[in-house]
Amino acid sequence: MDKEKLSIIKIGGNIIEDATSLDAFLELFSNLEGKKILVHGGGKRATSIASKLGIESKMVNGRRITDKETLEVITMVYGGLVNKNVVAKLQALNIDAIGLTGADINSIQSEKRPVKEIDFGFVGDVKKVNHTNIDKLIQADFTPVFCAITHDGNGQLLNTNADTITSQVAVGMSNLYETSIYYCFELNGVLQDFNDKESVIKNINTDKYKQLLEDNIIVDGMIPKIDNCFDALQNGVEKVHIGNTSMFTKENNNFTTITL
């Protein structure tokens, strides 16, 4: 028997920061047919509020060092301010959304990242997705909205990369559904030339990816994002797309599709 389709959509920080962009995205999301899960971060808002509180945000290679004070701010911002704002807006669009961290219903368990060259602090690497519990919400016609926080099973919250949460939730839910990932951000897709916003690379497979890395076309934060895409495809996810917020509408075909 064919599995039911499930869409897992991650929105980037620039969409969250811009009220007009966020409202437009959530309108599209609310009209998306079928079962769906939303994942969001909120790093820019967390950095801004931390600064107002006199807490310095430390970054290494684009990744946040999460000390105790920073974790408190992230929990307030991701799990509170951003998550509940998104949930409230979805309710206004008649979507019965439920805001979650990975600690809620033990949905996403992580382990603290081991210290190697850098101590990232309270940062989690996803170990287990409880697809059974998440599915109970979906089967009850609730739409889960996950922020980028997980837990270690021993009472400790952990800051966790939202792209990774997206891919791991999609892998976990692929036990039950035909899962597709949509990574939504402000650009049309992965670009051949960053200065030309229309130069979208329509398809990236493993060979093409190696070439793009060698040519320094894919750099910085896009590398872990695409690594997550390939990991998801190798572990049961059906489709992965990267593009702007209109890419899951039937009218738009100008985005990047990742294939093995």
Answer for the pair 8, 180: CB distance below 8 angstroms, yes or no.
Answer: yes
**Which band of pLDDT confidence, cut at 50, 70 and 90, is reported for residue 114?**
very high
- The percentage of the chain sitting over the pLDDT mark of 90, rounded to a whole number, equals 85
Q: Which helix (H) or strand (E) holds 11?
A: strand 5-11
pLDDT at 128: 98
Mean pLDDT, range 207-232, rounded to an integer: 92
Length of the chain: 260
Q: Is the pLDDT of residue 245 over 90?
A: no
pLDDT at 246: 83
Q: Is the pLDDT of residue 175 over 90?
A: yes
Mean pLDDT, range 216-222, rounded to an integer: 88
Which of 45-54, 97-106, 215-224, 242-251 is predicted most confidently? Answer: 97-106
Going by the annotation, the residues of the binding site are 42-43, 64, 159
Long-range contacts of residues 118-121, Cβ cutoff 8 Å, at least 24 apart? 118/60, 118/65, 119/65, 120/60, 120/63, 120/64, 120/65, 120/66, 121/65, 121/66, 121/67, 121/68, 121/70, 121/71, 121/159
- For residue 144, which of 158, 128, 133 has the smallest C-alpha distance? 133
**R_g of the chain, CA atoms, integer Å:** 18
**Which band of pLDDT confidence, cut at 50, 70 and 90, is reported for residue 25?**
very high
Going by the annotation, the residues of the binding site for substrate are 42-43, 64, 159
Average pLDDT, the chain: 94
Q: Is the pLDDT of residue 254 over 90?
A: no
pLDDT at 220: 82
Q: Is the pLDDT of residue 4 over 90?
A: yes
**Which band of pLDDT confidence, cut at 50, 70 and 90, is reported for residue 219?**
confident
pLDDT at 24: 94
Q: Is the pLDDT of residue 234 over 90?
A: yes
Structural domains of the chain sorted by starting position, each given as residue range(s) with its CATH number in brackets: 5-186 (3.40.1160.10)
